[in-house]
Structure 1
Amino acid sequence: MGKITIAIDGYSSTGKSTIAKRLAKSLHYIYVDTGAMYRAVTLYALDHDLINDKGEINAPKLVEALPDIALKFVPNPETGRSDMHMNGQNVEEEIRSMRVSGKVSKVSAIKEVREKLVKMQQQMGKDKGIVMDGRDIGTVVFPDAELKLFMTASPETRAARRYKELLENGEEVSYAEVLKNVQERDLIDSTRSISPLKKAKDAIEFDNSDMGLEEQFERVHDFAQRVIAKKG
């Protein structure tokens, strides 16, 4: 049976990665978390003082440093998933922090950053059999993907999910702070001039505000099976 490319886009904290990982595992496909790639570049910028206390990014210096940023997904035998490694170091835990979350949308809006990472993503998916999630997968990275999903949920629902996740990871943060971050990221992601977040014309809109993970997975898995069956 032929393999397809599955592109999952949508707003932050809609559970794109959770669904994409499970779908890839079920189909025996490769999973790529593009958000982790942008988060890693953001971490690099923070660690190298390329983002000041006001949140302003030294874009020229960051662009100059891009050739020195090596990104790789490395399987983690303890968790069964792939962790993001940057320049040989496992940065999976650091890139999920609010410190990075608060800046990643601005870094992602830099043209040269997107160009570098999009090329890497397209190379990863050249042989199909891949599930990739992000903000511009169905519109820019894989406009010809056989299955495109656009995931959404209310800002309040997404903030509650993210807040719970951060608390479980030991971060000290308030719900109000998380909600503000979600709303700010929505605005930046949707209005940036380079590859803004938007639903591809042929994408299936998937509002999971009132769905549990099991129902979400079953529906998405059904979508995928239908498309794969048609491809033969």
Structure 2
Amino acid sequence: MEKLAIAIDGPAGAGKSTISKLVANRINLNYIDTGAMYRAITYKVINNGIEFDDKVEIIKLLNSTSIDFNHNHIYLDGKNVDKEIRENKISKNVSYIAKIKEVREKMVEIQRKIASNKSVIMDGRDIGTHVLPKADFKFYINASVEERGRRRYEELKEKNFDTTLEKIIEEIKNRDRIDSTREISPLRKSEDAFEIDTTNLTIDQVVDKIIKTIEKRRE
């Protein structure tokens, strides 16, 4: 198969990462979780006790940070941080880091470099609109805020986190607001993206929709 680039965008909790991983496995693509990259630097910022509004220190930290993917696992300064970056404190605060211009510029530079020499499926908030505007296929994955909150709540319950559905929904609404109104590359649907509302669909149904769309256009 020729080199292929697929962009998957959408708000928090819509299922982008899970869906992208499954599509990657089905049609043999390299999965790049851009959200995990922002989570990784957020994790490091928190661990270093840096305030979220201290741009100077955040940028200094970023410039001495290594973020890489290997076999669909993310490594921060050489350490696998798959589990650590999924903690709720990261989910609540990643948007504050992701809206910083210099952070986004550095991440986009890394993402484009990865996509330049291999077939990829990449998910995030601004892949189709900014990172890979010439992607072969673009999808916008969405769901109601209530459904996205319910999914996140169930995920946290399984990990024995003490929280409430109402609190999670408010946190997701706040992330949506930050992501949609930030000055640099805000969350929005690319005009040429296929939109899929996953509210009442199973993961397998969404994956099938994406693969059928790709196969139909490439026949």
TM-score by length of 1: 0.91
**Letter aligned with residue 210 of structure 2:** V
Distance 1:146 1:87 in 2: 32
Query: Residues 191-224 of structure 1: CA distance to partner in whole angstroms, max 9, x if unpaired?
Result: 0000000011101111111111121111111112
Distance 2:53 2:73 in 1: 26
Within a 5 Å distance, the mapping from 1:11-90 to structure 2 comes to 11-51=11-51, 56-75=52-71, 82-90=72-80
Distance 1:228 1:31 in 2: 20
Distance 1:155 1:162 in 2: 11
Any conservation in 1 of the 2:145–2:173 contact (CA below 8 Å)?
A: yes
Distance 1:97 1:38 in 2: 13
Residue 146 of structure 1 deviates from its aligned partner by: 1.1
Backbone CA RMSD of aligned residues: 1.2
Local SS of the residue matching 2:63: helix
Residue 2 of structure 1 deviates from its aligned partner by: 2.3
Count of residue correspondences:
219
Residue 3 of structure 1 deviates from its aligned partner by: 3.0
Any conservation in 1 of the 2:142–2:199 contact (CA below 8 Å)?
A: yes
Local SS of the residue matching 2:152: helix
Residue 92 of structure 1 deviates from its aligned partner by: 1.2
**Letter aligned with residue 142 of structure 2:** T
Local SS of the residue matching 2:113: helix
Distance 2:16 2:115 in 1: 18
Distance 1:131 1:69 in 2: 24
Query: Residues 3-37 of structure 1: CA distance to partner in whole angstroms, max 9, x if unpaired?
Result: 32100000111000111001011111100000000
Distance 2:7 2:128 in 1: 5
Local SS of the residue matching 2:167: helix
- For 1:188, the equivalent position in structure 2 comes to 178
User: What are structure 2's unaligned runs of at least 5 residues?
Assistant: none
Asked if 1:150 corresponds to 2:140, the answer is yes
Residue 128 of structure 1 deviates from its aligned partner by: 4.4
Distance 1:148 1:128 in 2: 17
- For 1:167, the equivalent position in structure 2 comes to 157
* Residue from 204, 209, 217 that aligns with 1:219: 209
